[in-house]
Amino acid sequence: MYKKRLILYSIFFVVAIVFLYFVFNFQMPAMKKRIFIFAIWFFAEIYLWISIYRTFDFFSQKEKNNKKKTIIEIFFTLLYWFPALIIAISMFFLIGKGIQNINQSGYLIIMGVCVIQYFIKFLLFSLLLGFDLITYFIKRFCRPRFVVKTVRKHFLKIEFCIYVFCFLLLTYGMICGADNFVVRKVKIFTNHKSLEGKELKIVLVSDLHLASWRTQKPMEKAIKLINEQNPDVIFITGDYVQFSSSEFINYIPILQQLKAKYGIYSVLGNHDYGRYSYFPDDNARKEDVQKLIDYQRSLDWHVLLNQNKKLFLDTLKNSITIAGIEYYSPKKLFVNEGDINKTFKNIDTSDYVIFLSHDPLAWHTVKKRNLPANLTLSGHTHGMQLGIYNSLIRWSPASFVYKQWGGLYTDPNFSNKKLYVNVGLGSVGLPARVGISPEITVIILQ
């Protein structure tokens, strides 16, 4: 009985992954590169399910005719596999309609709730796998007197408590954390002639992900907070949309309220290139990217596309230079439109240079090539929207992927090159924030 079910689960696993890859290939091309993540998630879900079934004797034939037991099994089975069912229905819906023809915010909320389930299940799988490995070696080499199955039952009950706690925590993070904006203030002393005797107030925001908001109210609140800082200049480091430029349109009346003495400067992020949405061909995708650029320029934003621009601070021709690169990562991922050479071409190295790059990994290229960037400003990481971020402790799972994932960074070997990473306004993937609040950064350059 068990072997037959194992074969069925294996077939289900293969079919599900092939199906997802097929959908992503046509509807969200960039996501097919991440199919291995979904493969790991599905494997973890099946492993956890088999463990629960075997441990609690759901395969037992002794109580085959017990109707109450059968009803409980059916209910538990449906509850456990409900997120997978919702994802399957969503994928079929996506095939029929396409991401651009559905309610994108609603889609992200539904998928986000499923991601929360998979996030928790993967945590439980990791703990259970560790437990199983330990008990295997105990059985193999120590021959204990205790019954492993009994201990496993207690362990799975503890895991259920962990599940409830995590679910409630992430639900709170989804309802209350997503728009709990914080204003972080940082002072940077430059000792540079461009800013001698002056102070420049910068507001940095990143990763708006406009489709991720259920209503426009959070963005209205964020814009009000930004304007209250009375910024001299505003920098926005990409990921305005999740899928396509159409998300930007409804927010134009809100975004045009942004005010700064010396203007607003922006660069593009990986989500701004239409790689997460379906387009009939690459020309259509490029046209959509151009629309997004045009929308920003209609708001009098300075969109820097591998360019640099002088910002004059007074009539004495004192200036700083702002260099902005299109999405660039030294890892050479599926989106890599940035050109370092163009961005720093003919740059005035006597100025204080601020480098805008969506991905903070560009800072490593700045140091490696000793480029004239005194301050690099980035976003992209979101701090994985989960962790601890305060004046005493700063930790996030994002640190496993990015050494510089949030806050101000310096390198003792390059004392004149600093990096600040903003953890973003919007959400991506996980529609919640726990411990990593959406951020508006105020940087005072002196």
What number is the average pLDDT over the span 333-339? 81
Residue extent(s) of CATH 3.60.21.10 domains in the chain: 182-445
Please, is 36 exposed, middle or buried when counting C-beta atoms within 10 Å of its C-beta (0-12, 13-18, 19+)? exposed
| Rounded-to-integer distance, Cα 444 and Cα 288, Å | 35
Length of the chain: 446
Q: Check pLDDT > 90 for residue 441.
A: yes
Residue keyed to tokens 């009994």: 150
Coil, helix or strand at residue 403: coil
Nearest 5°: phi and psi at 310?
A: -80, 140
- Among 132-136, 237-241, 334-338, 346-350, name the one with the lowest average pLDDT: 334-338
| Rounded-to-integer distance, Cα 112 and Cα 242, Å | 13
Share of the chain above pLDDT 90, in %: 55
| Rounded-to-integer distance, Cα 372 and Cα 107, Å | 43
Mean per-residue pLDDT of the chain: 88
Please report the pLDDT score of residue 1 as a whole number: 56
Please report the pLDDT score of residue 383 as a whole number: 94
Q: Check pLDDT > 70 for residue 24.
A: yes
Q: In this predicted model, which residue has the larger pLDDT, 95 or 171?
A: 171
Q: Check pLDDT > 90 for residue 438.
A: yes
Sign of the CA dihedral with 211 first, then 214, 220, and 223 last: negative
Alpha helices in 28-103 (DSSP H): 35-55, 67-97
Type of residue numbered 207: D
Chain segment 386-437, per-residue pLDDT in tens: 999 988 899 999 999 899 999 999 999 998 899 999 999 999 887 889 999 9
Q: In this predicted model, which residue has the larger pLDDT, 3 or 45?
A: 45
- Among 114-123, 263-272, 352-361, name the one with the lowest average pLDDT: 114-123
Q: Check pLDDT > 70 for residue 199.
A: yes
Our CA dihedral for 223, 323, 424, 300, rounded to 10 degrees, sits at 20
Q: Check pLDDT > 70 for residue 58.
A: no
Our CA dihedral for 323, 327, 330, 334, rounded to 10 degrees, sits at -170
Give CA 182 to chain center in angstroms: 18
Q: In this predicted model, which residue has the larger pLDDT, 198 or 173?
A: 173
Q: Check pLDDT > 70 for residue 61.
A: no
Coil, helix or strand at residue 64: coil
Chain segment 168-190, per-residue pLDDT in tens: 998 888 888 888 999 999 999 99
Q: Check pLDDT > 60 for residue 280.
A: yes
Residue among 119, 219, 102, 103 at smallest CA distance from 171: 119
Please report the pLDDT score of residue 36 as a whole number: 85
Domain range 182-445, its CATH number among 3.40.50.170, 3.90.180.10, 3.60.21.10, 3.40.50.970: 3.60.21.10
Please report the pLDDT score of residue 144 as a whole number: 57
Chain segment 29-50, per-residue pLDDT in tens: 877 777 888 899 889 999 999 8
Please report the pLDDT score of residue 72 as a whole number: 75
Q: In this predicted model, which residue has the larger pLDDT, 226 or 314?
A: 226
Specify whether the backbone of 384 is left (phi greater than 0), alpha (psi in -120 to 50) or beta: left
Instruction: Give the pTM.
Output: 0.88
Is 432 in contact with 166 (CB distance < 8 Å)?
Answer: no
| Rounded-to-integer distance, Cα 122 and Cα 43, Å | 9
Coil, helix or strand at residue 415: strand
Chain segment 344-390, per-residue pLDDT in tens: 999 988 899 999 999 999 999 999 999 999 999 999 999 999 999 98
